[in-house]
Amino acid sequence: MPIVKKDGETRATPPFTDEDIAQLRAGDHVRFYGTIYTARDAAHRRMVQALQERKPLPMDIRGQIIYYVGPTPARPGRVIGSAGPTTSMRLDPFTPALLEQGLKVIIGKGGRGSVVKKALQDNKAVYLLAIGGAGALLSGTIKSMDVIAYEDLGTESIKKLEVEGFPAIVACDMYGGDLLLAGKEAYRDQPALGDYVSVPPAEKAG
Amino acid sequence: MTTETKPGVREVQADDIAAKVAELCQTATHVLPEDVVAGLKRAEQTEKSPLGKQVLIEILENVDIAKREMIPLCQDTGTTVVMVDIGQDVHIVGGDLHEAINRGVSKGYTEGYLRASMVAHPFSSRVNTKDNTPAVVHTEIVPGDEFRITVVPKGGGCENMSRLQIMLPSRGKEGITEVVLRTIEESGGNPCPPLVVGVGVGGSSEYCMLLAKKAITRPVGQQSDDPETAEFERELLTKVNALGVGPQAVGGSNTAIAVNIETYPTHITSLPVAVNLQCHSARSKSATL
């Protein structure tokens, strides 16, 4: 089963169908297993250009996951370096074209524009947040990495990752639900107070 | 050629500067300063949103993993901003200061397996320089004979949300508050909250932004020496956290762990305000030579 919901957590393994995506709602905490493809700015530009020229994409994205990441180089003996998400908004202009090709899951950070949100609904797909700046934690869930296209782009090349328990939170679902908007409304005017205890004006540790 | 050292002048070797910069690049990208960790822990303890709390727990877990396993805290190891305070009684010998700093950045990023994120031409070919050089260097001549370097690896996600506005002086505190809140609300999850918010007020346009950048390097929890500014910092921190953006913008009561304001006198016609956001991975590391 591609989607298994149990004890408040959702396990998800691609490829996904429309029916699988229908089970995911904004705010769901999901752990991914299996294959994830990476792509960010430069790779998106090339993929969308390929589509415009009616050329095939470097991989079959139907039912698959794309993760917006440009990792640090792996230390010797490691699979990958730090591997957290990059800002998704920059990929907005390229996203609808890939969703139309059958891409089902996108993982990044930050909000999406209205055009992308509508494309998610139209194509029955979801957008999730991985925790930005948690690249060391996320790195540990990645069990293998192969560069499969655009090797010349270095950190921006398309990589095929195999993951076990990669954590993410559904931000935009196929029903138009948006966690970022709902969350902000729910917690508006409930601040943690600004009376942080002032520490002695010590220098930062040398 | 040998130079004779004048009495009262201390020599600092360019090679020592390069070696120290290389070391600081590696430490800064793997070990989060204690004051930032303390701020994040406090946020985790006070967070009202269960999802926001979960995010903060994972952020703190990331801090431990990065240090223990020597994996960079974040894959965006940044533009290398280097702030140098040079005592006026220091003489740099054995090479060019900027060359030494860049040699250090190159060594630190290459040997430390850090991501090279700099492109040579900003609007044309955008070819990666492959070793994260050049650094952005700010030098300041200060009294004494110390040579102090601070390395701030600054991520693109938060840096891209910076803002500068020159306001009418009559807008005062209200205007400053509006600029800060609007910048943070519109940035949403892009700058990776909870944030350290750097605010520069006064000076000239370029100096105001430098004040904001300096503000993000002030330790979390350390307030301005000026009581009025310190009170404004507390007021702004509460207002920022009332926005509801929350950790990673999932909604919550901690959008920032600090608002640091740096001020400078300004022209009778101006009220410059600069906002520089720093992500929760508020990395910086200093050393004195």
pLDDT value of position A205 = 43
Which of A134, A108, A131, A104 is CA-nearest to residue A120? A104
Verify cis geometry, omega within 30 degrees of 0, for the bond prior to A14.
Answer: no
| Phi, psi of A127, rounded to the nearest 5 degrees | -120, 130
The CATH number covering residue B188 comes to: 3.30.1330
Instruction: Compute the 3-state secondary structure of chain B and give helix, strand, coil in percent, each to the nearest 5.
Output: 40, 25, 35
Quote the DSSP letter at residue A192.
Answer: P
Q: Domains in chain B: how many in total?
A: 2
- On whether the CB atoms of residues B262 and B183 are closer than 8 A, the answer is no
Q: What is the DSSP string of B91-148?
A: EEESS-HHHHHHHHHHHHHHHTTPPP--BSSTTTT--B-SS-PSPEEEEEEESSS-EE
Q: What part of A 110-169 touches B (C-beta under 8 Å)?
A: 110-111, 129, 131-137, 139-140, 154-155, 167, 169
User: Higher pLDDT residue, B4 or A45?
Assistant: A45
Q: Does residue B5 lie in a domain region? A: no
Q: Is A29 a catalytic residue?
A: no
Judge if B187 and B87 occupy the same domain. Answer: no
Which of B205, B220, B288 is CA-nearest to residue B260? B220
Percent of chain B at pLDDT > 90 equals 96
pLDDT value of position B4 = 58
Mean pLDDT of A121-141: 98
Q: Does residue B43 lie in a domain region? A: no
Instruction: Compute the 3-state secondary structure of chain A and give helix, strand, coil in percent, each to the nearest 5.
Output: 30, 25, 45
Question: Strand B271-278 relative to strand B195-203: parallel, antiparallel, unpaired?
Answer: antiparallel
Question: Strand B90-93 relative to strand B10-13: parallel, antiparallel, unpaired?
Answer: parallel
Q: How many whole angstroms separate alpha carbon B40 and alpha carbon B35?
A: 9
Cβ separation of A186 and B251 shorter than 8 Å?
yes
Q: Does residue B61 lie in a domain region? A: no
Q: How many whole angstroms separate alpha carbon A98 and alpha carbon A104?
A: 9
**pLDDT at residue A202 tops 50:** no
pLDDT value of position A194 = 74
Q: Identify from B30, B47, B70, B71 which residue to disrupt to test chain A contact, counting A C-beta atoms within 10 A and taking the largest count.
A: B71
Which of B243, B222, B242 is CA-nearest to residue B233? B222
Q: Model confidence at B162, in pLDDT bands (50, 70, 90)?
A: very high
- On whether the CB atoms of residues B73 and B66 are closer than 8 A, the answer is yes
Q: Which residue in the block uniquely carries the two structure tokens 């030098």? A: B139
pLDDT tens digits, B38-52: 999 999 999 999 999
Q: Could you tell me the residue range of the domain that residue B208 belongs to?
A: 156-280
**pLDDT at residue A198 tops 90:** no
Judge if B241 and B135 occupy the same domain. Answer: no
Question: Strand B79-87 relative to strand B147-154: parallel, antiparallel, unpaired?
Answer: antiparallel
Judge if B21 and B145 occupy the same domain. Answer: yes
Cβ separation of B75 and A188 shorter than 8 Å?
no
| Distances A34 to A3, A9, A14, A102, A172 between C-alpha atoms, Å | 12, 17, 7, 18, 22
Amino acid of residue B138: H
Q: Does residue B60 lie in a domain region? A: no
Domain layout of chain A by residue ranges:
3-177
Q: What part of B 186-225 touches A (C-beta under 8 Å)?
A: 188-190, 192, 217, 219-223, 225
Judge if B121 and B170 occupy the same domain. Answer: no
For residue A18, the number of C-alpha atoms closer than 13 Å in the C-beta half-sphere is: 7
Judge if B23 and B138 occupy the same domain. Answer: yes
Domain boundary among B96, B123, B154: B154
Domain boundary among B154, B174, B197: B154
Q: How many whole angstroms separate alpha carbon A165 and alpha carbon A26?
A: 19
Amino acid of residue B97: L
Q: Does residue B59 lie in a domain region? A: no
Q: Nearest C-alpha of chain B: how many angstroms from A192?
A: 5
Verify cis geometry, omega within 30 degrees of 0, for the bond prior to A15.
Answer: yes
- On whether the CB atoms of residues A106 and A66 are closer than 8 A, the answer is yes
- On whether the CB atoms of residues A46 and A91 are closer than 8 A, the answer is no
pLDDT tens digits, B107-143: 999 999 999 999 999 999 889 999 999 999 999 999 9
**pLDDT at residue A197 tops 80:** no
Domain boundary among B136, B154, B172: B154
Judge if B226 and B202 occupy the same domain. Answer: yes
Cβ separation of A199 and B246 shorter than 8 Å?
no
Q: Does B179 touch chain A (CB under 8 A)?
A: no
Q: Does A41 touch chain B (CB under 8 A)?
A: no
Judge if B136 and B81 occupy the same domain. Answer: yes
Contacts of B88 by beta carbon, 8 Å cutoff, 6+ apart: B141, B142, B143, B144
Q: Model confidence at A206, in pLDDT bands (50, 70, 90)?
A: very low
CATH 3.40.630.10 fits A3-177, yes or no: no
pLDDT tens digits, A28-82: 999 999 999 999 999 999 999 999 999 999 999 999 999 999 999 999 999 999 9
pLDDT value of position A7 = 85
Cβ separation of A182 and B239 shorter than 8 Å?
no
